[in-house]
Each structure stands twice: as structure tokens, then as C-alpha cells.
Structure 1
Amino acid sequence: MIRVALDAMGGDLGPRIAFDGAIEILSRHEDVVITVYYSPHSGLDLPKPHKRLSLIACSDVIDGDEEIVLSLFRRRNSTLYQSLNALANRSSDVVVTLGNTGAMVALARHLLGVLRPKLYPALIRELYSNPLRCLVDLGANVHCPPSMLVGFAELGAAYVEALSDEIPKVGLLNVGVESSKGSAVIREANRLLASKVWPTYLGYAEGTELFEGEKNVIVCDGMVGNAVLKASEGLLSFMVNKFKKAEGVSSLFETFYQTERRHGACLVGVRGNLVKGHGRSDLPAMVGAIEYGIDIARANLYSAIETRLCNEALESGD
């Protein structure tokens, strides 16, 4: 059985999306059980009893706009804390949340621990699922020294190896491909990555290489990655709406929009499987985020990444 811990309180549309998403998932997967962590003060009717669905009422909710302060770690009755604690105690295999990204990252590091000292967790988003192509980081880290970007490259490469037959080929997102381009941080990260045997590093990547080209792991800091992702999603939505009345064109955009794995990002670098969905997720997006979580739980993703990083450290003598 795959055991999903679902934080119901993070999304803009309220816990009903999580309740309905859980019921839909259970109708599709006979080998999945879901525990939903919710606030009884939400005022919604609870879903009908289901033998593979558990509901746990929590007295606290971490809002999406809350700052990351020390008191966060004492809020043990919040839905996010409880769901992550279930993962830490190994009573669940994956956590899915639409909630506060900063709180999720901070609590995940606190409760689960990191895979390797000085390796910072990163959010990975799949740009394509077949062939697998991903962007790292999407906002878990904003101020990133060169060593952190190298760590993102390693996490992204291990992710690709764990979930596909693709050979990871890393590119460092920059304003140009010339060696003189970019900040001092980018140029130093370029030097460090070029000196490594693994992962395979192909140099700088420009924005035009995000969705096509040889590089299938695109690395950047969290602020750039988040801006790039949301701009891409906004453009796609704009194009879908713009061409709704154009025969054939609209259906092409909608097919891409609906079939590519776009519902959620995966937090890697901690000792557990986590999916962070968009706060504005509707029911299909909620279902897609849970499906994503089930996929990475089946692959035991965090364990596969940890094994790959350990093997690489042994081979390189680090």
C-alpha cells in the first residue's frame, strides 16, 4: 500500500479540493490509502466514510503568507506539521500539500533531516515527463552561492536517473552561453560543475533551452526558477484563452496543458518524499499533485537519490 499524507489546508480554494481529490484518487488506485489533515473550523461537510480514507482534525493552520520564525517549529498541531511528522515517523510514504512553501521547506528540514550535510533541499519541476526534463530550483532557496547550485545539479541529475532511463545532462541557466556572461556566482558555479565527473555538465543554458535541446536538467537559483516557471504557466494560459475560438489550435494547447505533468513540484534533498502543489490548484490539479506523489512514493525517490549521492561520494573519494 502507498500511504499518502494530505495537508488539506494550504490551497486558496479550501479543504474541499483536498477532500474531493482524495476520493477521486481512491477510486483510481486500489493500493493507496490517504490520511487527510484538516481544520475542523473550516465549516465544510466531511466526505463520506471510506475504508482507505482517514481524517485527522488539527487545531492549527499555517497560512500561506506567514513568515518563517522560530515559533513555527513549536506549532505541532498544525496540519502541515502533522502531515510531515507522519512522514518522519514512517507512517506515510509521501506528503502532498498546497500550503506555504517556506514553511514546508523549513519544517521538512527540521523533521526529516537533509540527505547530506551542506546539501540544501531544492524544488524540482518537470517541464516534460517523456523524455524527462526538469528545472531546479523553484523557490526553496533564493540566495544561492556556487556550491548550492552545484548541489542542485546533483539533486536534479539523481532525480532524472531515479525516475527515467534518461542520462542527465546539466545546464546552468544564464543570460548567454559565452564564458564571460553572468554574475560571479554563476561563473564560479560553472567552474565547479565543469570540474566534476558526475553529473555530465554541458555548460550554460539560455532561456530558449528550457523546453528543448540536449540539456535536461536546468539549474538556477530559486528566485529565477520561480519567475521562469510562473511566466511559462502564465503564457500557456494566455495562449489557451487567446486561441479558444481557433479551430485545432486551442485543442493543441489544451492537450499539452492537461497531459504534461504540471501539477506540483517535488522537494528533494530531505529524507522523505514531498510534493508541493500550486496554491491556486483546482480539483484536476489537486488530483495531479496526489498522482505525482504516488509516483515518487512507488519509486521511493528520496532513498534512490540518497543512494546515488552516496555512491558518487564514494567513487569520488569525498
Structure 2
Amino acid sequence: MSSLVHIAIDAMGGDSGPRLCISAALKFAELNPSVQLTLVGDRQQLTSIQSSLPHQIQIIPVDEQVKMTDRPSSALRHKRNSSMAVAVQMVADGKAHACVSAGNTGALMAFGLHLVGTMPGIERPAICKAVPTKTGSCWILDLGANLECHAENLRQFAVMGDALARVAGVTAPRVALLNVGIEAQKGKSLQQEAAHLLEGQDNLNFTGFIEAGDIYRGGADVVVCDGFTGNVLLKASEGVADLLRDSLKQAFVGHLGFKLAAWFARPVLKKWAGRYDPARLNGASLLGLKGIVVKSHGTTTEEGFLAALNVAYEQALNGIVDRIAAAVGRNNNTEMR
């Protein structure tokens, strides 16, 4: 495989299909001359634009796509030649450093598990992304890959989240378990058992339980939860961010004085949008696989898909898979002693 970062893109994933993926790929290639992109998608739609693409972007035409309504097990059995499967297979075969898809989350998880596989010491991958907080960023996992988990899954998620935070420059990440309260007796058996496992993990800075509201106050650097809880947290948070953004827009509409205030406030509003706009935070990794697979929101914008491509690019540059594998090995050895 070339030393250039090569990203495979499932061009048929998401609500907007290839149009959005193609335009985002063109912009990303322009911004990153050292990247190679492969668009995998509908034969008719992609071959019609092939001659107009820059040398950085190649295409692989296919005749199948995974629909949002497809069951993961059905997609795995019957759609092995789909755009999603072929993009993931490129990572499995070492032909691409990473792949990005805005398609069916369950199917992407299934293809990742079956084609790429998990690294030693990890039973299930977890969807992870960083969210902005009052003091910096917090990595939350799982955000929807595993709706049901057991305590050992959460321990493994904590190890992977800790490794990702360290790659980002956090020297001793504070790792916490999401719960309904911070008291030791709070929570269900899952939280209680996971806390017991993490308390015995010498290589982790486990700080105990955290409530959802304290995440955004900077109460932890890594927050661990099951995928059902994490997905609800993520979508509720994005809904609040959308509400705040739309409310700000409405506040400056109508009166001339408000419009003037909006003009003077543009630098502040632009800075705020750059940090809290959900589109710019798009792109969550399936940590624990032996390759980089990034999930984009299906309803994302072009800017959001660019953000997902950048997540894949940065993780490839930083060798995140090898770093997480090393961290998992160290922590598993500690646990077994």
C-alpha cells in the first residue's frame, strides 16, 4: 500500500447518496494533496463523472448498496458486493488505510467485524467520538454499536478510549462511567460490575461515576457507557446544539438593531459555530477493529462528511490502530496478573 493516506468511501451511504459524497471528496482532495480517495458506488452514477475527477480520486463501480432498512445479518449474507462491503474490504485487504460510510450502522458494524476483525483482547468494537466540553474535549464510547453490553465490554471500551485520548495529547485521561448518579451504590448491575473491573485496572485513571450533565462541564476526559445509552446521549446533545444555533439565528432576525448586533457579533458567532456545530463534529470511529472504519451521520451535510473524512485521515496519520492495540495488550496483561 502507498505511503500516501488512502481512504475508501462508501459513496452510496446516507440520505443524500453519491452527490454529497462526491462533492465532499473533491473538496477534501483539494485541501489534502497527499491523500488518495476511492469512491465505491453505483456503476452508472460514478462512471459518468470519472473523466472529470482529479488524479487523487479513483472509482470502483458496484451494482449493490446497503439500505438503511436492511438487517445487518441480511446485508452480511446477501450484499457482499455492495459499496459498503467493498469499501470495508479494501481496509481488510490493506488496499486502504481507512474507510468512511454514512450508511446503515448495524451493517457497517457487521462488515467491520466479519471482514476486518477485532484486535486481540477486544470482543466488540465501540463507536467513539470526541465532544467539546468547558475545559476541552471528552471521548465518549459506545455511541451505538452495541446496544447491550456486559461489564467486560465496558472495561475494554475504557482502555480504548484512554488510548485515543492519549494520542490527542491528554497525559493521564480521567476515565468515568456514565451513570444516574455519582454515589458508589447508584446504577444497575452493569455499572456496578464495570466499576469493580475498572477499579482494579492499574494503567487507567478511573475516577468513578459521572452524570450526563457533568460531561460538558469537563468532569472527565473519557466517558464509557453501553451503546443504547450513548446513542441517546449523543442525539439529545446534537438536538440541543441545533436548538441553540437556530435560537441564536432567530434572535437576530427582524429589528434593524438586532441585525446590526448580529453583524458586530459575527466573529464571536463564527468561533462558537466552529466549536459546537454538530456538522463539524461528525465522524465516529469503530474502535477495536484491526483497521480504521469511520461512521458518518446518515443525515450529515457536505461539511459534516468532510469532518468524517478528516477523522479517518488523522487516525491513519497517527497510527491509531497500533496504539490502541498496544494499550489493550498492556492493560490486559495488568488485569491478568
Same fold? TM cut 0.5: yes
2:185 alignment partner in structure 1: 180
Q: Which residue of the other structure, out of 199, 208, 227, is the alignment partner of 2:204?
A: 199
Q: Which residue of the other structure, out of 146, 155, 164, is the alignment partner of 2:160?
A: 155
| Unmatched runs of 5 consecutive residues or more in structure 1 | none
- Answer yes or no: is 1:49 the counterpart of 2:68: no
Paired with 1:55 and 1:71, the residues of 2 have a C-alpha distance of 22
2:259 alignment partner in structure 1: none
1:29 alignment partner in structure 2: 32
| Unmatched runs of 5 consecutive residues or more in structure 2 | 253-261
Deviation at 1:190, TM superposition (A): 1.2
Deviation at 1:118, TM superposition (A): 5.1
1:292 alignment partner in structure 2: 311
Deviation at 1:128, TM superposition (A): 3.0
Deviation at 1:241, TM superposition (A): 0.6
Paired with 1:43 and 1:307, the residues of 2 have a C-alpha distance of 39
Task: Indicate how the Cα distance of structure 1 residues 283 and 182 shifts in structure 2: closer, same or farther if over 3 A, else same.
Answer: same
1:81 alignment partner in structure 2: 85
The structure richer in helix per residue is: 2
Deviation at 1:43, TM superposition (A): 8.4
Task: Indicate how the Cα distance of structure 1 residues 165 and 62 shifts in structure 2: closer, same or farther if over 3 A, else same.
Answer: same
Q: Decide whether the 8 Å contact of 2:160 with 2:327 is kept in 1.
A: no
2:194 alignment partner in structure 1: 189
2:103 alignment partner in structure 1: 99
Deviation at 1:317, TM superposition (A): 4.3
- Answer yes or no: is 1:112 the counterpart of 2:116: yes
Q: Decide whether the 8 Å contact of 2:92 with 2:116 is kept in 1.
A: yes
- Answer yes or no: is 1:234 the counterpart of 2:248: no
Any idea what SS the aligned residue of 1:243 has? helix
Any idea what SS the aligned residue of 2:16 has? coil
1:256 alignment partner in structure 2: 275
Task: Indicate how the Cα distance of structure 1 residues 44 and 87 shifts in structure 2: closer, same or farther if over 3 A, else same.
Answer: closer
Deviation at 1:45, TM superposition (A): 4.8
Paired with 1:49 and 1:252, the residues of 2 have a C-alpha distance of 33
Paired with 2:109 and 2:229, the residues of 1 have a C-alpha distance of 18
Paired with 2:311 and 2:109, the residues of 1 have a C-alpha distance of 18
Q: Which residue of the other structure, out of 300, 306, 311, is the alignment partner of 2:330?
A: 311
Which stretch has the larger CA shift, 130-139 or 241-250?
241-250
Aligned residue type for 1:189: A
Deviation at 1:49, TM superposition (A): 2.8
Larger Rg: 2
TM norm structure 1: 0.93
Sequence identity percentage: 28
Alignment: residue pair count: 318
Deviation at 1:314, TM superposition (A): 3.6
Q: Decide whether the 8 Å contact of 2:66 with 2:75 is kept in 1.
A: no
Paired with 2:292 and 2:123, the residues of 1 have a C-alpha distance of 16
Any idea what SS the aligned residue of 2:36 has? strand
